[in-house]
Structure formats: structure tokens, C-alpha cells
Structure 1
């Protein structure tokens, strides 16, 4: 048995006896360990307070607040159109999806959502799905690093770089775009974008299959993730979990299908769910597998958007992506909630407008990462410390969205 000595003093140590040393048995007594906020497996500034009994995790308490973006307070001091860049900085690896959800909410409050040109809608879906791919590449690649695989991480970053360059081509920004505006877009797609995007999709499809074979079918990866961190469907629902994590637990719940916002009702794609192929439904392997299948579905969506943009919704000399951008944004006095399917789950915005100014009286963000992180204590009871790292990585959260 390994033993350790620690310094012991009574409560009123100023008047206590000289320092006493007490010997404890690590195999019997619990120990408090802090993981982070610098630990790489926490994917950012998160501190996990872990109570362990040897190699066994008894309890995990996540502490947040190390990357507070103050988004909601910024939003309550700015006009609606100036809030868009702040949404980019919440989930900063899926900025297009963030700003699209916010913009849709304002457009519905103004009653201009159904007036948008089809070309604008298909461009929005196109760039959002490209950004979904980039976000999932980060999730899968960094998760491979957590488990101990290095090559898939390099592959994911290589392919993500192609996407970032194309998105930078559209608006000039590499990561934080401010491309989707209330009532339209910052600018139309660059000339030749559709052709270059089609070339990238043809290149990407075999690469996705290669990554799936090398990573998800790897024996070591399966041993580290199958039957680890199993999330029962009812527990996921009770905690408000959404996105790939919820779908990995077996529920076919995707807002792109359920709410059918924008032109998703005109696009053919499937919603993959966890099937327990190598382990249990809702384990770490299922969550990674669902993200990989969603990448393939995003490719299908992008191909259909490109088809529409080059046939029915061609660019024209008279097309102005800013034609419906309102000069003044002043919604009626109301409370309003909008939600959208982001790469990490349901992103929602609550607005309260007083009807007098172009600044929201209240703006509340419902971040998917915040709700998904809340289920961590329920997933990590009586697991090994190594499995704790595997579970944390499988949740794919961004702390900018957690702290908002």
C-alpha cells in the first residue's frame, strides 16, 4: 500500500501545538485533485474538481467562469445589427452557425424572414454546413489526441484548413465572420466559389472514409471509448442535452428537420443516431461515430446547395444580398425565442424588445455547450481517471459558449 504524509493542524492553528504529521492510506481515503484550468484534456479554461479513491473517480464538480465573454450584457447595450460580431465569439469554431441563429430571430421579430431571396437562404445553409464540418473536424481531431492518436488530428486540421480558407474567401475573416446580416448577407459568394467548393467536396469524401477506418475502427480507440461514459436517453433529456450527444443516445432529434427553418425542408439528408455498433448506445464511441456520420450528411447538404446555386438560384447582375437589410431595426414590444441546430446542439436566443429603441431590453443565450457540460457529473461516477478524460473529450464543448 502506498502511503503519504501530510501536515495537520487544528482549526485555531495560531494557538496550536507544533505541526503534527499524520499518515494516510491512499487506497482507503479519498483525495481531491484539480484538473485544469490548464489541463489540455479540458479543451480550454475549465477546472474539474475531482474526488478520487485511488484510480477511481467518485465525484466530479466542474467549475466554469474562466472565459466569461459577457455576451448578454454587451447585447443589451448595442443595436441588433452590432451584436452579430459578439455571437461569433461564443462558439468561436462555429461562428457562422451562431450568427445565423441570432439573425433569424431578429428577422422573425421584424416579419421579413419569408421575404428573403432563395439565393440568400441557400448561401446561408452552404456556409453554415461548411462551418459545421470545421467544428466537427475540431471535435474528432482533438478527441483523437485525448485518446492518444496523433495522425487523425493532423488529417482533420489539414481538411479544416481548406474550409477556413474558403470561408475567408467569402468575407475576409478566417474565424469570426460577421457574414450573415439581418435581412441578407455581407456580400454574394465570390466568383468561382461554387466550383472550388465542389472540388473540395470531391476531395473530402474519401478522406472522411479514410479517417473513419483508421480512427473509429482502431482496436485501441474502441477499447478506450466503447461502453465508456454511457449516457442513457432519459438522463440526456432530463439534463437538456442536445446535438450529437443526444442523438448518440438514440433520439432522432434535429432542429433542421423538426423546425425545418430556412430551406432545410427542401433538402434531403438523414439524421444519424447512436446504434451501439461496438459497445452500448450513448457511449463515447457512439458520440464520435455520430459526428463522423453528420460530416457525411453535411457533405450531402452542401452538394445540394451547390446544385441549387448553379441552376435555380444563379447569381445575377441585379441580385443584391443587402437589398432587404433594414435601415433601422426596431421590433415591436414582445418576448421572443429562436433556436437553431448548431454543431454542438441547440443554440437559442431569447429577446425582449420594448418597441421603443433598436437595442434589446434583454438578450439571453441558451448555449448548447453549457447544457451538455452539465451532464458531466452524472457520466463520471465510479469511472477510472483515464476514462474521465475520454468522457470529457467526447462532450465537445467550447468554454466561450459555456460562460457566454
Structure 2
């Protein structure tokens, strides 16, 4: 390890106070070290520095240092009209941009009072895209996590299958990751002709692949031994820290905003909310968090199938369908404070708006980032673990630093 990454804690008897050339092995065994993990490290899933107080291989304290990828989202949003903010929303969780767009567009529509006027075809297309992106996001979470702890091959399988989703989303929006597809009042454009058929073909392809992935990685004995009873997040701690998404559900609480708030057309869809059950270890451990994400992929596949049935049945494409006919060029909500939230792959994403009733630019805008809140629990669940287990814990938090730093 480079010497510039090791600092010895300065207390009486510290190595820093010893005479040169008189360091003893006994001193090294008894000294605590501060190790900087990051800011650029393959296991931190973004630009973040973890200041780790180590006692040998044991982690005594962890302090996350953020701000290396600051997006200035709030200040950008406070200087742009509502409809021009969407490209900046994409850059929050850049591996689940459709989900972020869905929450933002729905929020402004509720603020304007036009939610009931959104065509059903638009709603089903939005949820179809959001659930496809949820699958792709969970693929990244599971694939990179497997690689973090030594399972290399599943990462390549997952990236191969994720590519099919990215091609579908690029076909519809014209962009590979940052889509600008869900607009306030509708969509950038209707789904391309033949999109539903290609999407159904992907669903038929992915179902056996998911079973294969689950058996080769999630149920693997080595993976279980590596993740069971590691990084246990008790339910009361998760609630008190504001943790949401798969991390909260893995701790045993069946809380999903798609069910709780019943927004968009989710009440019309049949899907379950998987929770951690402690099948191979403790409820809320690293294995449970990975298993919950895997089960959520299965549920998203079910929802995609149901959306496709509606889009090819009750809500087919028509020539007079205009996916963006509801909203004027200048959006001027009445003066108010307004908050909207939705369920992204990582948890609750919320947007707070303060408007003055005169401008089409929000007076104040605040993004409630689930990755930021979920990361805040790391110092609590990483105390007393081995340094290798710290890497395992970080992976199951599934942070995206663009959303943490906003």
C-alpha cells in the first residue's frame, strides 16, 4: 500500500512520535491506521472517498466524504423553465434516468392539476419504460456487486442482457443513457412502430436467463458465505435513518411507493413487493439486499408484460395521438410549496418545488436523493467488520454518486 495513503492516529505512543529506525513489530500490531478508500476506487461505484479507521483488519469507523461529482442540480433547476429541467433530472441517477424523469414529470403535472388528463397510452408507456430501466439498474447493481466480491463471469452475462434494454430505450428516445423522453404532459414521442413486439421478444429471452443468474450467483454457496450475516441493517435503524427502496425492504418492511402512493397506473398492475426474510442469514444482511433486487427484477418483468398487453390491446397507437398536447410552452403553476415522490430502483426520489405564480422557473427546487440518504447509514452498519466486508456492504447500498452529490 502506498505510504501516502496510510496515516497513523496521533495519540501518545503513536508511531509518528517514535524515533526513526526504532519502529517495532509490537507497535505496528497495536496502532490504528486511517486508510483512504477512494476517491477513485473500483468498489466505491463512483467518485467517493471513504476515510476508514482500521485496527488491523477490523473497521472501527467509516466516514464517507462526498462532493467529488457535484451536479449542482438544484441551482440549475432554479435557473431554467420547468420543461428544460428534465435533461438535468436524467443526470441524477444516470443508470435509471427514465425512473427519475417519471417522478419529475408526474410531480409537475400534479402541481398543475392535469394528472387526470394524461392519456392512458402515455401512462402505460411511461411505466413500461420505467420498469425496463429498473431492470437495467438492478442488473448493474447485482453484476458489479458480484464482481466486487470475486464473481467475475455473472458481470459479463448481466452486461450482455442489459444491452438489450439499452437498445430498446435508445430506439424510443434516441439516447443510450440520458433520455429526455418523458416530458411534462406526455412523451417526447410515441413508441416506435414495432417496439412492443421487440420488447415482448426481449421478455421471452430474459426469463430463463434470470433463473440461470439466480442459480449461478445468488444461490451460490460461496456467494452466500460471503454475504450472509454481513452488514446487517436492523429495521428500526433503517426507518430512523430514512432508508428507502430495496435496502429498507430487505430489512423486512413491505414499503414501496408504487403501492403506498398508488401513482400512475401502478394500481392497475398485479405485482408483489419482496422483502428480506433472512433465508440464509439475518434479515437485512447483504445477501437479503441482493436477493430483494433479484426478486424485483422478476416483478418488473411481470409489469412489463402487463403494460405490453395494454399497449397492444386497449390502448393501441392511433394516428391522432399527440403525446405532448396538454402543456403550454410556458408552465406557470400557482404560488405554492409542493412535494412529489416516487419509487426509483434505489428508493424514494422526491422533488420539492416552491413557485411564486409569476414565472415559469421554480423559485426553489430541491431533490430528495435516495442514494444520499441510504449512504448515510454506512457508518452504522460497517462498525466492527473486516475491510473485505466493508467492500461487500458498499456494493449492496447501490449508490450512484451523481444522485448523492446532485
Q: TM-score range by the shorter chain?
A: over 0.9
For the 8 Å contact 1:8–1:20, the answer to whether it is kept is no
User: Alpha carbons of 1:301 and 1:51: their partners in 2 closer, same or farther (altered >3 Å)?
Assistant: same
For 1:356-395, list aligned pairs within 5 A: 356-395=358-397
For 1:121-136, list aligned pairs within 5 A: 121-136=123-138
- For the residues of structure 2 that align with 1:7 and 1:233, how far apart are their CA atoms? 35
For 1:5-404, list aligned pairs within 5 A: 20=20, 23=23, 25-404=27-406
Specify the SS of the correspondent of 2:29. coil
For the 8 Å contact 1:9–1:19, the answer to whether it is kept is no
For the 8 Å contact 1:132–1:298, the answer to whether it is kept is yes
Aligned length: 394
- For the residues of structure 1 that align with 2:159 and 2:260, how far apart are their CA atoms? 32
TM-score (norm 1): 0.95
Unpaired segments of 5 or more residues in structure 1? 11-16
For the 8 Å contact 1:96–1:131, the answer to whether it is kept is yes
Deviation at 1:327, TM superposition (A): 2.3
Deviation at 1:18, TM superposition (A): 12
Specify the SS of the correspondent of 1:27. helix
Deviation at 1:400, TM superposition (A): 0.3
For the 8 Å contact 2:8–2:32, the answer to whether it is kept is no
Specify the SS of the correspondent of 2:53. strand
Specify the SS of the correspondent of 1:23. coil
- For the residues of structure 2 that align with 1:355 and 1:105, how far apart are their CA atoms? 16
Specify the SS of the correspondent of 2:100. helix
For the 8 Å contact 1:8–1:19, the answer to whether it is kept is no
User: Alpha carbons of 1:387 and 1:111: their partners in 2 closer, same or farther (altered >3 Å)?
Assistant: same
User: Alpha carbons of 1:387 and 1:325: their partners in 2 closer, same or farther (altered >3 Å)?
Assistant: same
Specify the SS of the correspondent of 1:390. helix
For the 8 Å contact 2:8–2:31, the answer to whether it is kept is no
User: Alpha carbons of 1:227 and 1:314: their partners in 2 closer, same or farther (altered >3 Å)?
Assistant: same
For the 8 Å contact 2:343–2:349, the answer to whether it is kept is yes
User: Alpha carbons of 1:56 and 1:328: their partners in 2 closer, same or farther (altered >3 Å)?
Assistant: same
- For the residues of structure 2 that align with 1:383 and 1:96, how far apart are their CA atoms? 36
- For the residues of structure 2 that align with 1:104 and 1:74, how far apart are their CA atoms? 20
User: Alpha carbons of 1:7 and 1:402: their partners in 2 closer, same or farther (altered >3 Å)?
Assistant: closer
- For the residues of structure 2 that align with 1:118 and 1:360, how far apart are their CA atoms? 28
- For the residues of structure 2 that align with 1:360 and 1:377, how far apart are their CA atoms? 35
Deviation at 1:50, TM superposition (A): 0.3
For the 8 Å contact 1:35–1:50, the answer to whether it is kept is yes
User: Alpha carbons of 1:29 and 1:303: their partners in 2 closer, same or farther (altered >3 Å)?
Assistant: same
User: Alpha carbons of 1:8 and 1:112: their partners in 2 closer, same or farther (altered >3 Å)?
Assistant: closer
- For the residues of structure 2 that align with 1:347 and 1:8, how far apart are their CA atoms? 39
- For the residues of structure 2 that align with 1:283 and 1:99, how far apart are their CA atoms? 31
For the 8 Å contact 1:26–1:53, the answer to whether it is kept is no
User: Alpha carbons of 1:111 and 1:22: their partners in 2 closer, same or farther (altered >3 Å)?
Assistant: farther
For the 8 Å contact 1:182–1:326, the answer to whether it is kept is no
- For the residues of structure 2 that align with 1:41 and 1:9, how far apart are their CA atoms? 28
What do residues 66-89 of structure 1 show as CA deviations (whole Å, max 9, x unaligned)?
000000000000000000000000
User: Alpha carbons of 1:361 and 1:6: their partners in 2 closer, same or farther (altered >3 Å)?
Assistant: closer
Deviation at 1:26, TM superposition (A): 2.5
Deviation at 1:325, TM superposition (A): 2.9
TM-score (norm 2): 0.95
1:13 aligned residue: none
Unpaired segments of 5 or more residues in structure 2? 1-5, 12-16
